[in-house]
A and B are shown apart, each in its own frame.
Chain A
Amino acid sequence: GQQLNQSPQSMFIQEGEDVSMNCTSSSIFNTWLWYKQEPGEGPVLLIALYKAGELTSNGRLTAQFGITRKDSFLNISASIPSDVGIYFCAGRPGRIEGAGNNRKLIWGLGTSLAVNP
C-alpha cells in the first residue's frame, strides 16, 4: 500500500534539545495527523491538521500542514526523557478512489526518538 516518506528514521538527542521530523507525499493530502507511540502501547493522537498552511501547537509540540499539501512537520522543543517513543505521521489523501478508501489513513514508517537525560 501507499506510504508516506517520514524522516529521520531515528534520532538520539540530549535532553533539552529541539527535535524536528517531517513527512512528505507525492500526492496532496486533506488531513495530516501526528501520533506518538510509547513502548507496548497503541499510538496516541498528538496533533491534527486540516488546512494547508495551518500551524498548531500542543504544549512543546508544534506541527504544520505544508502549503503544497504534500508535506507536514513536527517540532518538539526542549525535549525531556518522557518524549521517548515512536512518532508517526498519517494523512488522508485528497483524491480517493474506492468507496471505502475515504476512511483509510496513509502512514509513515515512524521516527524513533531516544532522549539522553
Chain B
Amino acid sequence: DVKVTQSSRYLVKRTGEKVFLECVQDMDHENMFWYRQDPGLGLRLIYFSYDVKMKEKGDIPEGYSVSREKKERFSLILESASTNQTSMYLCASSLLGDGRGTQYFGPGTRLTVL
C-alpha cells in the first residue's frame, strides 16, 4: 500500500512566522503535490513537483514556496504566515508511469495562524 505521511496533524503558528510542512511518501513516486482545502472551495493545488529539485506552480502559489531535495520528501514553506493561510493542507503523490494520474493522499495538516 502507498503510504503518504505528513509531519504534523495539527499546527498552531503566529502571524509572521516561517512555517514548514513536511510530506514523505514511501512508494518511490515521482510526482508530489500540495493542496489546501477550505470549506466550499474543495481542493486547490498550491504547488507540485515531478522530480527532485523540480517544481511547478499550481492554482494558488502566492505566499508559498516548496522544496524537493529528495525524491520521497516534499516540503511546503510559508515564508511569513498570515491568518488567511489558516487551512487544511493535504499532500499527495502519484506515479509518473501511471498515465491515469491516480493520487494518494496523506492525512492532512490542519494549520491555524493566529
Contacts and interface: CB of A to CB of B under 8 A. Distances in A.
A43 B107 CA distance: 8
Among A30, A88, A100, A102: residue with most chain B CB under 10 A = A100
A3 B42 contact: yes
Q: Which bucket holds chain A's interface residue count? A: 20 to 34
Interface in B62-113: 90-92, 94, 96, 99-108, 110
28 contacts: A1-B44, A1-B58, A30-B99, A30-B100, A33-B101, A33-B102, A33-B103, A35-B105, A40-B108, A40-B110, A41-B108, A42-B90, A42-B105, A42-B108, A43-B43, A43-B90, A45-B103, A45-B104, A48-B102, A88-B43, A92-B101, A102-B101, A103-B96, A104-B33, A104-B45, A105-B101, A105-B103, A108-B42
Interface of A: 1, 3, 30-31, 33, 35, 40-45, 48, 50, 88, 90, 92, 100, 102-105, 107-110
